[in-house]
Amino acid sequence: MLSVLPYTISFLLPPLVVAGTLWGGWWTWLPVAILYVGLPLADALLRLDLAHHSADGADRLGRQTAFRIVTWAWVPVQTALVAWGVWLAGTRPLSPVEMAGLVVSLGSVTGGVGITYAHELVHRTGRFELALADILLALVSFPQFAVEHVHGHHRHVATPLDPTTARRGEGLYAFLVRSVVGGAGMVWQIEAERLARRGASRWSIGNRALRYAATMIAMPIAAWCLGGWPGVAVFAGQCLIAIVLVQGINYVEHYGLERREVAPGRYERVDARHSWDSSHRVTNWLLINLARHADHHLAAAKRYQSLETTDEAPQLPAGYATMLLVAMVPPLWRRIVDPRLPPA
């Protein structure tokens, strides 16, 4: 049971968002400082966590309910946090510094942690956990992730067909535009093909892309009802930060890694060489082992607590949190990461 405790550190962030906002002024930026300064420092100071499990050990870990409860419990916490932030913006005057701090803090939590939990849940098969994932994704206006990631990214990763695989030499900012636009187009294509196989129209009510569009219209309306136009601004701002953050992590996870084309339009199978791994301890606690990414792509059904370090995967020199900051300076990113890429 104690082994689950490190993965609960994310639950410290929502109270810090609330406390920082209530204290006012520059305190609203406290969660941002912890995530983008404290987290990289903690990763640098603590030794790596090179996790390897026996088959029986991984199976036992995967069956432990406590790890599942962590992901389930995050959903009401994030829902309450976003609702509180939207409501507060509509009822309490905030200075520009406080408004910006609230938006960036909220988006960093809902994007960095919330979408990571949604990522874990969209890979499950039960309706309950899939519904929880939908709630988390609706709270950041990114419902397309549920289809695009599972049915697009995992199929086409490390190929030119995947808009969320960063190409060798591609800068973060160009990638952000391409990944968001391309991901939306991929969802429409996936749904059109799925419905065509069933003999249904792409404009039918069964098209998840249309339902997602309705969700993205409904959520700002709900924010307006709760917090007026200031509430809409906070909701929209934290959505933007969250989406940029998750796509930034996508950038780090697969940058420059390519599957060999074995025939026109056909590629070799995904293996450990096609994802960047990181064994930095604190980031993996916060992101529930997302940085053990090669193992996730080899066995997407594995629950986060069972994921292992994959020795054959390319290794990043720092945790995902640190590398995301590096990616914000494209020349620095290329200087550090490009020499670690396999030959073109």
- In the predicted model, is pLDDT for residue 27 greater than 90? yes
Average pLDDT, the chain: 94
Confidence (pTM): 0.94
Angle at alpha carbon of residue 37, lines to 34 and 42, rounded to 5°: 85
> What sign does the CA torsion over 120, 122, 127, 132 have?
positive
Identify which of 289, 288, 308 has the alpha carbon closest to the alpha carbon of residue 298: 308
8 A C-beta contact, residue 116 and residue 288: yes
Q: Give me the DSSP letters along 295-327.
A: HHHH-TTS-GGG----TTS-B-SS-HHHHHHHH
**Contact status, residue 278 vs residue 323, Cβ threshold 8 Å:** yes
CA distance 40 to 213: 36
Poorest-pLDDT segment among 119-123, 134-138, 198-202, 272-276: 198-202
Nearest to 228 by CA among 85, 88, 84, 90: 90
The per-residue pLDDT for 2 is: 61
What tens digit of pLDDT does each residue of 129-159 get? 999 999 999 999 999 999 999 999 999 999 9
